[in-house]
Chain A
């Protein structure tokens, strides 16, 4: 093999906290070769980002490089002086960050930012810089005409593309990507990763790809290093890590994905013909968006959405961000009132009858996405669990409340002694368990779970989903599971509904929807699931998604073509007894749609 472009030898990094020195990276060594994609996998806190910062020499106190060396093409990076460092950074190695919104300057236009980067390192005039900037944007698939716009005017995926364009600006030989797609939807994630791969093939730079998602990594990288607690456990070709992992920890990581991707929750219960607990009937929601001075334009967030939730059954609502799934959850948790349609609770319209509204409050509870935001940092676990018990059982004695709290902790698999702990003493997964226990304390009939695992490490996700499954069966609770990941939807929920631009486009038994997808968007979602058995270089075909999926799209499928309340009637086609799909107008009809006359409200 050719000489390594970057070689790290026995790198150690420590963090100096208030009262102790904590090792973050412990004697890590690896090489990256030219044109190679090297994946660094591990859970949050394992030290992988610390290494990325050290390579660019961005380590700052309280972080301290305590030993080892970083050689870039034979040059010792750790002993470079300021000027040499300035030339090395960005021109030789550049960075793509996780959050593109934070990485881009909000008060500079895209053009100014790219040109600034160029001027700092090259002696070129304004015109040349502009040309280069538009060339770079074209490379990453952004219309150069939008060059004068600002970061907030672009969607998350497009911002990340701009971040990549910036990283490419000086033709570096190594690009470090720190979780470049973690904050993005699956479809956008796939889109970005394919773009990076294509650019890599074109320019031959090497990539250090840092992520906690082993399956995406196996598809994208040539070699993978697995890290845990600051140590590099093993380095091997991607396929080998996936198929025959050597280290028990890697095996455990890989298994967590396998079980998720291949299992199914079983079909919907056939005998459910009694009244559903909760039903949405033709619910629509419109928001007013600003369209100039004193004018507003209605924006259809939800259009004619209907579904029902049955006891002991989970329904998954799958879709990208902006598809309306969170608006659905907010209508169900009574944050928003629907613009039209009805919300039925045991057959009664909640927004009309006050009595049922209060019963509803108690019966419908919510589990949040972010376990760090959903527990109050100043109150201990015991208090946070005791309160709902006290509220709903005012006659309970202190002793009885205590017993119930212990019981709740046991239900979610935590020792009862932890009631005295504070949230900051718990890990993300443990916090999510406490949040689940708090919801159970109310003894709800319906639980709305809004991406309950998306902020957790993959190895913890299965545990949380299994816990929820267990609770669903034991207490006969109805679940609405909101996610952008159709694979976990199938693992957890009996029924799946796919949302796209504010409507449910395909619904039915999870197995039927995932095995025989009919709607192009469902297919796109399924295609976006990482397929670690095939490297990106093996299966490159233009996917359906590129034909129908528009990164600028928001709202209703037709929102680009008409204004006012939706007047499109989309017919429903029944595929099988438990599988329906909405008639769709994409693909060959896509062009004809553009010529539809604008309808005025």
Chain B
């Protein structure tokens, strides 16, 4: 049996470098040490910053004609113009504002509903649980997308992005609520909850301060996934023409590109930028979700180094 030099292994795994982050709280540390999470976060920040500083990045109005029809990318129009002569880059950054805002608010709202319903059902039990679980199950079996299409079609001239967001929130909370209810049931039987009850803690404080923080990583995971879903679905609905075509979002950009037959005119610049933006945001959030997964599940985190260790061991024995 070969003796293994732990000092060399430490250098091979670059552990010294990681110790610098030791003082940070565990979730943040994992985020920074995990390359996936860090890349995802940077990607998301980039697209957020771009959308937030839209008025600084562009002088044009996204709704108005800024040049000729289907002008290719140039110094004046970085990503060219649409068939209507609107500046694509301007539409992209302004559209990002709406798309991201709708995605995040819809997801936040649905997570909030999920927390209230899931945690209450789990903690209070009995009749409350029966009723809320019934409601959750009903929501689960209702097919979400067709319902949204039906609901959105009630609005004249298509549903505005925010209506779509709210509809998402109302139809999309059931799955997280189920997960949170199960988690609450496990936590409820922990002795620290009994101890809190014995010292006379009020019920809402037990739910909010004792139980909820223990499910934070789970909630964040649900929120990230929910955001991806909301952004993609919103874009999808607008693309098929359910949304309000006068709103500027990534989805309506795709809708117009399609109905103006941008591809057959060879105007790829009308179609590609919104598509890439949606993919970019989805990828960023997925990467973040990988990291969140590792925080929730330490088992995954401990497997991270293994391939590096194996490589080192092979090198050492060869």
Contact = CB atoms under 8 A, between A and B. Distances in A.
A391 B1 contact: no
B309 A61 contact: yes
Interface in A32-88: 61-62, 64-69, 76, 78-79
A64 B1 contact: no
Interface string A362-396: 10011010100111111100000001100110000
Nearest to A78: B1
A67 B4 CA distance: 6
A20 interface: yes
Nearest to A11: B1
Contacts of A421: none
A65 B15 CA distance: 19
B192 A374 contact: yes
B181 to A, nearest CB: 19
Contacts of B13: 16
A474 interface: no
B6 interface: yes
B75 interface: no
Interface of A is mostly: mixed
Interface string B15-42: 1001101100000000001000000000
B200 A392 contact: yes
A24 to B, nearest CB: 12
B199 A438 contact: yes
Contacts of A377: 214
Contact of B195 (A68, A79, A374): A374
Interface in B265-305: 301-305
Most buried by B among A16, A62, A375, A441: A16
Interface string B182-221: 0000000011101110111100000001100110100000
Contacts of A66: 3-4, 6
A21 B6 contact: yes
A377 B201 CA distance: 17
B306 interface: yes
A20 B17 CA distance: 10
Interface residues of B, number: 36
B305 A16 contact: yes
15 contacts: A16-B9, A18-B33, A19-B18, A62-B302, A76-B1, A368-B191, A368-B194, A373-B192, A374-B195, A376-B210, A378-B216, A379-B213, A388-B200, A391-B201, A442-B198
Contacts of A18: 18, 33, 301-302, 304-305
A370 B303 CA distance: 29
B10 interface: yes
B214 A388 contact: no
B170 to A, nearest CB: 30
Nearest to B193: A376
A366 B4 contact: no
Given A373-B192, A376-B210, A438-B199, A62 B6 contact: no
A472 interface: no
A378 B18 CA distance: 24
Given A20-B19, A368-B195, A387-B199, A378 B1 contact: no
Contacts of A79: 1
B214 A68 contact: no
A361 interface: yes
A376 B10 CA distance: 34
B1 A68 contact: yes
Given A69-B1, A441-B199, 16 more contacts: A16-B305, A16-B309, A19-B15, A19-B18, A19-B19, A61-B310, A62-B302, A62-B306, A66-B4, A361-B198, A368-B191, A374-B191, A375-B192, A379-B209, A388-B199, A438-B195
B271 to A, nearest CB: 44
Contacts of B201: 387, 391
